[in-house]
Amino acid sequence: MNSTPEERLARLPLREDLRGQHPYGAPQLDVPIMLNVNENTHGVPEDVQEAITEAVREAAAGLNRYPDREFTALRTALAEYLGHGLTPDQIWAANGSNEVLQQLLQAFGGPGRTALGFPPTYSMYPLLAAGTGTAYLRGERGEDYELTADSAARQVRELGANIVFLCSPNNPTGTALGLDVVEAVYEAGEASQAIVIVDEAYAEFAQLGTQSALSLLPERPRLVVSRTMSKAFALAGARLGYLAAAPEVIDALRLVRLPYHLSAITQATALAALQHRASLMSEVEEIKHQRDRIVKELVRLGLKPAASDSNFVFFTGLDDPQRVWRGLLEAGVLVRDVGIPGSLRVTAGTEEETSAFLGRLEELLAEPA
């Protein structure tokens, strides 16, 4: 008798805390307009493609040798890009921001330690915690998924977490946190010596005037700000995430990283993109324009979009989000059902993609239920 993959997996001596778990992943369907995983749908500009191709060609000549284990040139370039007086010894990078977060949990989490998140938030946090044997604690948000400084600080003090995740702009809701929240959480974590991670994966898309937690790094050795090149830099396929923190945090990560974890090809790709970022940043402005257009149109259609500092829009007010999701998919538009009642999330794409989404959505809302 044939057994299912689940049954075969159950027969293996899997760790008990991993039994029944499901791998992370959004649907990867072959549709014309993919607006479900917050990619930069504009693609890599031609001049950046050419620069990356040349950089990789040069790196290929030395692939018989291990890469620079300290990725010195890349850390220098990232420090220059971030500004805020940061130096290369305050920068770390890995294969996507998920690996950066995993390394933080490996260094500061583990059995007997806890990590705190505030759902709805990035769904990888509990999975990364589980993978490192770190207990995951679920905090609470207020109405409209707001997280205030007083509430967050109180929960950090009461729960005594060893690691705190603050996603800003938050995924899936898209709204950035005020720096007062970060400051309050950091102070509240003093008793448990909590590492406070501010996940700024979408920071480049923030509204004018939104401040980065990078400005809070001086004199806060337990504060970490993580970023990625997957979104604004259109390099989701290259897998490059990074963080800024005190030099001693970087030293801690050296204890858990795999040898030569960042390939020469990855380093060359990221460096070329940073050196030609002007083209990429012009795409960011167009994406922000389409995002704001989506918010305005959703309001006109009687829905409730959250204020967005990201490249996506989370919206509520749907009587039957699954019907809308399926109707969009039938028209070749894939958006994300994040599992929150009455809501969906859509990535801001090109002007044409955005128009297709808005046009079909309006038709679906006009149809009888």
Give domain 14-45+279-366's CATH architecture: Alpha-Beta Complex (3.90)
Give domain 46-275's CATH architecture: 3-Layer(aba) Sandwich (3.40)
pTM of the predicted model as reported, rounded to 2 decimal places: 0.95
Q: Any idea how long the chain is? A: 369
pLDDT tens digit at each of 369 positions of the chain: 578 988 899 899 998 888 888 887 766 788 999 999 999 999 999 999 999 999 999 999 999 999 999 999 999 999 999 999 999 999 999 999 999 999 999 999 999 999 999 999 999 999 999 999 999 999 999 988 999 999 999 999 999 999 999 999 999 999 999 999 999 999 999 999 999 999 999 999 999 999 999 999 999 999 999 999 999 999 999 999 999 999 999 999 999 999 999 999 999 999 999 999 999 999 999 999 999 999 999 999 999 999 999 999 999 999 999 999 999 999 999 999 999 999 999 999 999 999 999 999 999 999 886
- What residue spans in the chain does CATH classification 3.40.640.10 cover? 46-275
Q: At what angle do helices 351-366 and 321-330 cross, to 10 degrees?
A: 130
Which residues 6+ apart lie within 8 Å of 322 measured at CB? 337
